[in-house]
Chain A
Amino acid sequence: MGKRIAVLSLQGAFVEHEKMLGELGIACFEVRRRKDWDQPKDGLIIPGGESTTQSKLLVDLGLMDPIKDEILGGMPVFGTCAGLILLAKNMEGGPFGRLSTMNISVRRNAYGRQLGSFHARGSFAGQDIPMTFIRAPYIESVGAGVEVLSVVDGHIVAAREGNQLAAAFHPELDDCQAVYEYFARMFG
């Protein structure tokens, strides 16, 4: 049986993730409601977008706790940008609810407003890849059990803790499959 990945599709750039998975021949489906989530799946992608919007919708649609439970139960998850923020246990000035499953501290809008958005190249798990940062966060520090995968300009921008992978940049926007191939090995 082929693998099937859930893509959280409440708000943001979820279609771009679906396209990348499609190019790798990995099936996926959109999660907009509780009954979508209840389908069988091998992993979850939480896309970029606005973390406050996604957080509000996770709560209002009754998805926050069920998703959190499965992540804590070991289901592979990959969060980009807003997704990284939702996974983080610690964040400054963030009153809103998050999944808070990953042992990292993040700083939101860490590079400032849109004028601070940028392209870079950096090493991801030892591979040189293009990276797109859009009003991006970065990881200020990681706790025990977290492996740092990318550092750009002295800031941690990708990390893994067991079944959880998070990136501050947007691999769904660049023509490079390296991060997806890495994620695929986590559920493969």
Chain B
Amino acid sequence: MNMENQDRQTLNRNLAQMLKGGVIMDVTTAEQAKIAEEAGACAVMALEHIPADIRAAGGVSRMSDPKMIKSIQQAVSIPVMAKCRIGHFVEAQILQAIEIDYIDESEVLSPADDVYHIDKTKFDVPFVCGARDLGEALRRIAEGATMIRTKGEPGTGDVIQAVRHMRLMQSEMRRIVSLGEDEIFEKAKELQVSLDLVKYVHENGKLPVVNFAAGGIATPADAALMMQLGAEGVFVGSGIFKSGNPQKRAAAIVQAVTNFRDAKKLAELSEDLGEAMVGINEQEIKVLMAERGK
């Protein structure tokens, strides 16, 4: 990586730092984007179909129409993210050309490459990637991701997988902190990542980039649960605009992420939110999106 790339990487990690303690919401129209911004979203994810609908419709799911993404960029002042398929570096080039603020190389869309992820060090715009465990997270960071999120199981309204992924990552990091100096070489081999990254975790007890929770978060309590488990912020996909009262639910989740340890406040925030998204239980799912890209 040359000096200029290194500089962009730092700036891109820094933008993720500014998103911490915030909620990133999936939106499909400029109108929804405005609702999300007014409710206090720290960024929006522009996509044509939210994960719950992608799951229901089946078929191949691709990058959204740039025209639709641009209409959302014009509607709000907060950062706008968009998804490209795993390994589809041309979709990423297109998103960079329209000056997206963050690209999500996402398992929610159909993967375009079953071997390689995008070489994200070649881009100026930042990337966030999903991970189920520490090895996946560090491999994505080595490829240039400047923000990580749990994969969870998108479009289900079932938080179990996000919990599983976040717990696994945190416990693997605690274990690496406790390793002896001479034991981290073996760990790097096992995780298939560079020694430098394992050393960073060993010394700091955290990832070198910001780590959000995503997948199946539908209520203020879900969001606070992920924060208490160590997430630095949350993505809410289908959970908001598939619910009865999107405005109210969105604002409640934003407050829940700020005051995630205040149970009294969380009780207030959980009142009277209307119907939550119906959701699908883990066992009822046909396609496990989290299995895409390792």
In the complex, whether A9 has a CB less than 8 A from a CB of chain B is yes
Asked if residues B265 and A33 are in contact (CB atoms below 8 Å), the reply is yes
Asked if residues B11 and A134 are in contact (CB atoms below 8 Å), the reply is yes
Complex Cα distance, B258 from A11, in Å, reads 7
Asked if residues B11 and A11 are in contact (CB atoms below 8 Å), the reply is no
Asked if residues A12 and B258 are in contact (CB atoms below 8 Å), the reply is no
Asked if residues A135 and B101 are in contact (CB atoms below 8 Å), the reply is yes
Asked if residues B79 and A114 are in contact (CB atoms below 8 Å), the reply is yes
Asked if residues A134 and B18 are in contact (CB atoms below 8 Å), the reply is yes
In the complex, whether B159 has a CB less than 8 A from a CB of chain A is no
Question: Which candidate, B40-48, B105-113, B162-170, is the interface stretch facing chain A?
Answer: B40-48
Contact count band on A: 35 or more
Contacting B15 at CB < 8 Å: which of A56, A109, A134? A134
SS class of chain A's interface: helix, strand, loop or mixed? loop
Minimum CB–CB distance for A82 against chain B, Å: 8
Asked if residues B11 and A117 are in contact (CB atoms below 8 Å), the reply is yes
In the complex, whether A53 has a CB less than 8 A from a CB of chain B is yes
Asked if residues A12 and B101 are in contact (CB atoms below 8 Å), the reply is no
Which residues of A have CB within 8 Å of B10?
Answer: 119
Q: Which of B42, B102, B125 has the most CB of A within 10 A?
A: B42
Complex Cα distance, B34 from A46, in Å, reads 25
Which residues of A have CB within 8 Å of B211?
Answer: none
Asked if residues A49 and B251 are in contact (CB atoms below 8 Å), the reply is no
Asked if residues A53 and B125 are in contact (CB atoms below 8 Å), the reply is no
Least CB separation from A56: chain B residue: B40
Asked if residues A53 and B18 are in contact (CB atoms below 8 Å), the reply is no
Asked if residues A50 and B38 are in contact (CB atoms below 8 Å), the reply is no
Report how many residues on chain B are interfacial, defined by Cβ distance under 8 Å. 39
Minimum CB–CB distance for A64 against chain B, Å: 13
Complex Cα distance, B42 from A56, in Å, reads 11
Asked if residues B14 and A9 are in contact (CB atoms below 8 Å), the reply is no
Which residues of B have CB within 8 Å of A57?
Answer: 40, 254-255, 258
Asked if residues B21 and A108 are in contact (CB atoms below 8 Å), the reply is no
Contacting A11 at CB < 8 Å: which of B42, B102, B262? B42
Minimum CB–CB distance for A24 against chain B, Å: 20
In the complex, whether B39 has a CB less than 8 A from a CB of chain A is yes
Which residues of B have CB within 8 Å of A68?
Answer: none
In the complex, whether A159 has a CB less than 8 A from a CB of chain B is no
Which residues of B have CB within 8 Å of A112?
Answer: 99
Complex Cα distance, B16 from A170, in Å, reads 13
The 7 closest A-B pairs by CB, nearest first: A56-B40, A11-B21, A50-B42, A114-B101, A117-B11, A113-B99, A53-B40
Residues of A participating in the B interface, judged by any CB pair closer than 8 Å: 9-16, 32-33, 48-50, 52-53, 56-57, 60-61, 81-82, 93, 108-109, 112-115, 117-119, 132, 134-135, 170, 173
Residues of B participating in the A interface, judged by any CB pair closer than 8 Å: 7, 10-12, 14-15, 17-22, 37-43, 73, 77-79, 96, 99-102, 124-126, 251, 254-255, 257-259, 262, 265
27 contacts between A and B (CB under 8 A): A9-B258, A11-B22, A13-B17, A16-B17, A48-B18, A49-B20, A49-B21, A50-B42, A52-B37, A52-B77, A53-B41, A56-B254, A60-B40, A81-B18, A93-B77, A109-B77, A113-B100, A114-B11, A114-B15, A114-B102, A114-B126, A115-B99, A115-B125, A118-B11, A119-B10, A119-B11, A135-B18
